Amino acid sequence: MRRGNLPEAPNYTTAALLMGLVNLLWIFMVLRAIFGLPAVFAAAYGLNLLIGRLSRRG
């Protein structure tokens, strides 16, 4: 194997964030269709708490 002259890896950050948003939206839509809007608010609040806890750890 040759070493040294490797091409730069592609940056998939934007694609990953966009797909994360799409997945979050369809999950919220399913929650709203089955359980109603308060379930979406509860899930969003829970995710917010989880993200806040993870940001304080790191």
Which has the closest alpha carbon to 40: 54, 26, 50? Answer: 26
pLDDT in tens, 26-42: 999 999 999 999 999 99
Rounded Cα gap, residues 57 and 33, in angstroms: 34
Per the model's pLDDT, the better-predicted residue between 10 and 4 turns out to be 10
Average pLDDT over residues 37-58: 95
pLDDT at 35: 98
Q: What is the mean pLDDT of the chain?
A: 93
What is the rounded radius of gyration, in angstroms, for the C-alpha atoms of the chain?
18
What is the dihedral sign for C-alpha 17, 20, 21, 22? positive
Q: What kind and span of H or E run contains 39?
A: helix 37-57
Count CB neighbours of 39 within 10 A.
Answer: 15
